Amino acid sequence: MCDQKHHKSPEDLLNANRDWAAARLGEDAEFFKRLRDVQTPNYLWIGCSDSRVPANQIVGLQPGEVFVHRNIANQVPLSDVNCLSVVQFAVEALGVEHIIVTGHYGCGGVKAAMDKQPHGLLDNWLAQIKDVYHANFEELRLIKDERQQQDRLCELNVVQQVRNVARLSVVQIAWAQGKKLALHGWIYSLRDGILRDLGVGLEGPADLHSVFKLTEAP
């Protein structure tokens, strides 16, 4: 059983919150007023739920500067109403100019997709990663080190999720309307705390196969 004696209690968290709020007001008396009155983030971050990858902190952004969606293994399933609604709200209501899909090395979801063990309901969520694994099986098979193999699949998963974002109608309509909207694929290393750009960014539908391109919005 996990040793709980070093874990903070919920009451400790509430006390820490009061200290944090007081510190913010001490630095800037208008801090919460600005947050209350308007939300104008320029970024939508789609990341993993892993507690070791906090979006705001690792890129030095403050509350209100990044809109965040997180799930297991940073997925953008084309049938997930939750994720798709977040993207739509970010693009149409908030007017973000960047959507960043961020994975991380050592992702437990990616590892679970590779281990051939049953994981209950989670297996349905990981099915898309298995598809990426299958599509890149020959490349991955040649990587003999297990950790390096898993890390490469973490990268390939990010690549696929960026492509999924590009296929969304809300994204393609924004491009057709001339809105500035760039997609990015990044990966984070828990070993050194550094984010790396995987070089799979998109700023329009030009790199999409014609099968996935939608008719321009009126």
| 8 A C-beta contact, residue 180 and residue 96 | no
pLDDT score of 216: 57
Q: How far apart are CA 92 and CA 59, in angstroms?
A: 24
Q: Mean pLDDT, to the nearest integer, of 158-180? A: 96
Token pair for residue 21? 């709020």
Tell me which of 52, 119, 147, 196 is the catalytic residue.
Answer: 52
Is there a catalytic annotation at residue 83?
Answer: no
pLDDT score of 218: 43
| 8 A C-beta contact, residue 143 and residue 154 | no
Is there a catalytic annotation at residue 104?
Answer: yes
Length of the chain: 218
CATH topology for the 40-212 domain: Beta-carbonic Anhydrase; Chain A (3.40.1050)
Helix, strand, coil percent values for the chain (each to nearest 5): 50, 15, 40
What confidence tens digit (pLDDT) does each residue in 44-66 have?
999 999 999 999 999 998 888 99
From-to residues of CATH 3.40.1050.10 in the chain: 40-212
Q: How far apart are CA 187 and CA 74, in angstroms?
A: 11
The rounded mean pLDDT for the chain is: 92
Tell me which of 69, 70, 104, 184 is the catalytic residue.
Answer: 104
Is there a catalytic annotation at residue 50?
Answer: yes
Tell me which of 107, 152, 154, 184 is the catalytic residue.
Answer: 107
Is there a catalytic annotation at residue 2?
Answer: no
Closest listed residue to residue 86, CA positions, set 127, 51, 55, 120:
55
Is there a catalytic annotation at residue 36?
Answer: no
What confidence tens digit (pLDDT) does each residue in 78-93 have?
999 999 999 999 999 9
Q: Give the rounded distance of the alpha carbon of 38 from its chain centre.
A: 23
Closest listed residue to residue 155, CA positions, set 106, 205, 114, 211:
106
What confidence tens digit (pLDDT) does each residue in 171-201 have?
999 999 999 999 999 999 999 999 999 999 9
